[in-house]
Structure 1
Amino acid sequence: MLKVTGLSKQFQLSLSHDMQVNPFQNLSFEIAKGKFMGISGPSGMGKSSILKCIYRTYLPTLGEIKYDSARYGPIDLAKATEREVAHLRKSEISYVSQFLKVIPRVSAVDIVAEKLLPSGIPIQTARLQAEAMLERLQIPRKLIQAFPATFSGGEQQRINLARAFIVRPRLLILDEPTASLDKETKQSVLELLSEMKAQGTTMIGVFHDWDVMERIADHILDLQAFVLERV
């Protein structure tokens, strides 16, 4: 489903380009359909940057990111057009970050339901599905119609997760999705991730909680070991 070859990312830290950071170089891996690969390594080794390159928030400096899409067939995400990337994000690739960015004064249920509308699902049906997903993620019913700007960090993260999970994507990218969640909600997330894997969703992610990652990941890429192998 996803094959990364020779991936490198370089950041310029000054206008004169005389200061550079290379968090990862010549990175290669692949993930089969319905499998979950976790990424581990010390802070600063580029874990989140790898995910952002796959989602195309960052443009890789070098390398290929071959993704077997439903819309376009095999496509290199490193070279795809902005239009192609936008279509893939809308229909089959979801990304969960640590931060919720939404329009103010829109209710939690509508923020989640909005993800279903491009597929032609009626708004009332989408809201019912959104309510069910929010309840599975331990959002109290009294908050479903409230504005997430007033929520706690953990509650906002559950909105992030609900938006990603509700569309049942082909490829799910997770950047510290459980960092601010309590034990009960983490268990709900694990159950949903297991269901999605069983239905064929391919996943790649970084987890603050090592125990959670070990329970869900089929394989863990250790970036520190990867670097040491090449020294």
Structure 2
Amino acid sequence: MRLDLNADVGESFGPWTVGDDAAVLGVVTSANVACGFHAGDPVALRTTCTYAAERGVVVGAQVGYRDLAGFGRRFIDMHPDELTADVIYQLGALSAMALVSGTRVAYVKPHGALYNAIVHHEAQAQAVVDAIVAVDPSLPVLGLPGSVVLERATAAGLRAVPEAFADRAYTPEGQLVPRSEPGAVLHDAAAVAARVVRLAHDGVVTAVDGSTVQVRAESVCIHGDTPGAVAMAQAVRAALEASGVELRSFAG
């Protein structure tokens, strides 16, 4: 049994430090590196890519809305052509940073509000897919199982990779509980680790109402900006390996 463990990193900006990227990248197998639109400045992006290269962690581009003030967590009603251009721009920026750091961008994962929007928003989902196809159609795209963006990615010949979340609560419909609601983010490392082991072996998670939800995933995300992210990532990795799961990037 094989599973990828990914984390959002590279989100520090100027004097503001977000998460402990160096430590997180010592645990995960894939790194969703910010591209400067929702978070991350050029120094943070280059430093994070260097950390990833040194640790053999696969780099992915975490593209988002142009929303530094809102950390990319606010929906923006953009024209599809504008969104496509913004995603192309971000892929180009991170690709250059990865190149000079001795690595490359190997996949794409939308961030925050964009990630949630393209679960259902057909025009924006297609805009993201169009950008990836234009830049490099060999790049896989990470997304929520059953989302429109993964359907459109498959239709365009891209590799669509379903993803689950270790530290986020699920609705009975298999979607993420909005961060504005209580209990949306999970903080108990032991409970999260047990949850991910169950997901890996049985393909299910427990939703907020206690129901069991089927979640098929090739990769599991831990948010690097969540308090205690390093300890949680370590607990999840240890539990998965102890249960016989091999950790390897889906894009490596």
TM-score by length of 2: 0.29
User: Which has the bigger relative contact order, CA under 8 A and spacing at least 6?
Assistant: 1
Q: Say which one has the larger Rg.
A: 1
- More strand as a share of residues: 1
